[in-house]
Amino acid sequence: DTGVSQNPRHKITKRGQNVTFRCDPISEHNRLYWYRQTLGQGPEFLTYFQNEAQLEKSRLLSDRFSAERPKGSFSTLEIQRTEQGDSAMYLCASSTRGNTEAFFGQGTRLTVV
């Protein structure tokens, strides 16, 4: 499979619990992005990696959110002490430098109850 892979596809968690999502980008892509999408809105940028370096974080990313990309391959997004407002689709995308196309995974749907 040569596409962007995200796991899990769905996650239901109780408020206050921690959750972690994983993204495996297309293998030769050195850029990796995380976005969040809520109902009726377009995806919103959260954070961005070039190789293993996290280069930018959105103001949307509170201290409860942390992302890593060890060794510049897969990435994880962790949300601590989840809140109901964290319920959304979390999307990962990857691209190569100089390429206009970013390819998205199928997303992780988080529901906080």
Partner 1 sequence: DQQVKQNSPSLSVQEGRISILNCDYTNSMFDYFLWYKKYPAEGPTFLISISSIKDKNEDGRFTVFLNKSAKHLSLHIVPSQPGDSAVYFCAAADSWGKLQFGAGTQVVVTP
The residue to which tokens 């906080």 are assigned: 112
Answer yes or no: are the C-beta atoms of 8 and 105 closer than 8 Å.
no
Beta carbon of residue 37, minimum distance to partner 1 (angstroms, whole number)? 8
Question: Greatest CA separation found in the chain?
Answer: 41
Contact stretch for partner 1 (CB under 8 A) within 11-19, 61-69, 74-82, 102-110 = 102-110
Residues 7-66 that bind partner 1 (CB under 8 A): 31, 33, 35, 40-45, 48, 50, 55-56
Q: Any contact of residue 74 with partner 1 (CB under 8 A)?
A: no
Q: How many residues does the chain have?
A: 113
